[in-house]
Amino acid sequence: MAGVRMADGMSADGRAGAFAAGPAGNFAEMLDVERYGSRSGLFDAIIADSDSHFWDPMDPAYIDYSLPFDQQAGSILPLDVVPELASAVADRLDAGQRIAFANESCRWWLSSVLHGEQGALSLSANLCQALRNPGAIEYAANQAREEARHVTAFTRYIAVRWGEPLPASGTLSRLLAELVSVPEIYKKIVGMQLLVEGLAMGIFATLHAKSHDPLLVRLTQLVMTDEAFHHRAGKLWADDVLPAMTRAEHDAVEDWAAECFQVLMFNMLHPRQKKVIYARFGLDWEWVRDAMKESYTSADRRRELMESTNIFRVLIKTLLKGGVITARTRAIYAAWVDMKDLAAEGDAMVGDPIAAAGLAYLREVNEHRPRRIRKVQD
């Protein structure tokens, strides 16, 4: 990647496009009178729609955090989606401990999601400073506002179910910190908008489909309704900027995507990152790693695991359909999903019907919103 000077944010027509970088660290240049008038309309539809999916995690009309869930009696997620429990780990735990293990795993996943939401919030806020185009900045400000409500919403969910979130694992916190601080716009957009957001959509879709907790089902539906719009913005970048890139620039984008993907895979699946949970059950992470490796050698088990790791499908599909993946890096992804199947699929995403149902629900709730606001003010 070294030596590639990225024409950051050039659009397909060769002009400085909607995603052009601003004058780094020089606010005075943002006051350039011509800049104000250069507003791109690329994001207008998404910005105009932002009211249609408004929700407030502090208002029980949208989501009721008092809904109970008895974690002694059952697990929030089915035991068969917890990969450790398909290995010899399950033999070391009694029935009650298996439920507790599944619930702690769920807490770990949701804590990772919360840290990811904070990363998305910080990155969107940072884009407001890093971009030049007024339309793109308005979009980023909108996204920052939505990520802020996701931080509130997941913090509240974790608080009512477990009290505190678990700390971010080393690889996740390093990746998020890098995406927030890296100066190149393409690295931010590919890393966050395409990869982290894509992974989040996959996780939310799984949680929404499988959770036994109605509160988590509602939460993931509402968050996915917002995320569907963020996902669209990532696609706009791929359609607008990628075609104008030189071969070397495209290679740099592709390599960066593959690098972030491998970091995420490592973080999400490597037992070392989850040792905080294992310790609570008297399990050593290296022993868990070996037990999982053993179960992974069977072909059946491998297929099951590939199905359960469908969470990566959304992000791989986004990269593939967006034209980021070529033969150069295809093999990295092919270890996880069937790339031919993926290429043959239409553009519909796994989260689309969930987001559509969320939108319909919010339209209904928001119809009565003016009356509620008046009530709060009275």
Q: Which of 104, 147, 240, 249 binds Fe ion (CB under 5 A)?
A: 147
Q: For Fe ion, give the closer residue by CB, 180 or 291.
A: 180
Q: Give how many residues touch Fe ion by CB under 5 A.
A: 6
The answer to whether 91 and 294 have CB atoms below 8 angstroms apart is no
Q: Which stretch binds Fe ion (CB under 5 A): 230-238, 285-293, 340-348, 364-372?
A: 230-238
CA–CA separation, 92 and 75 (whole Å):
18
Q: How far is the CB of 116 from Fe ion (least distance, A)?
A: 8
Q: How far is the CB of 198 from Fe ion (least distance, A)?
A: 10
160 contact partners, CB below 8 Å, separation of at least 6? 65, 66, 215
Alpha carbons within 13 angstroms on the beta-carbon side of residue 239 total 10
For 43, 67, 280, the CA distances from 226, given in Å and listed in that order, are: 15, 23, 35
Site for Fe ion in 52-71 (CB under 5 A): none
Q: How far is the CB of 317 from Fe ion (least distance, A)?
A: 17
Q: Which of 115, 208, 230, 317 binds Fe ion (CB under 5 A)?
A: 230
370 contact partners, CB below 8 Å, separation of at least 6? none
Q: Which stretch binds Fe ion (CB under 5 A): 43-51, 131-139, 227-235, 271-279?
A: 227-235
Q: For Fe ion, give the closer residue by CB, 227 or 240.
A: 227
Smallest CA-to-CA distance from 106 within 219, 231, 251 is with 219
Q: For Fe ion, give the closer residue by CB, 87 or 225.
A: 225
Site for Fe ion in 104-123 (CB under 5 A): 117, 120
CA–CA separation, 181 and 175 (whole Å):
10
Is 150 a binding residue for Fe ion by CB under 5 A? The answer is: yes
Is 249 a binding residue for Fe ion by CB under 5 A? The answer is: no
- Dihedral-angle region of residue 69 (phi above 0 means left; psi in -120 to 50 means alpha; beta otherwise): beta
Is 98 a binding residue for Fe ion by CB under 5 A? The answer is: no
The answer to whether 347 and 232 have CB atoms below 8 angstroms apart is no
Q: For Fe ion, give the closer residue by CB, 20 or 120.
A: 120
Alpha carbons within 13 angstroms on the beta-carbon side of residue 115 total 21
Q: How far is the CB of 315 from Fe ion (least distance, A)?
A: 13
Using CB under 5 A as the criterion, which residues of the chain lie in contact with Fe ion when the complex forms? 117, 120, 147, 150, 227, 230
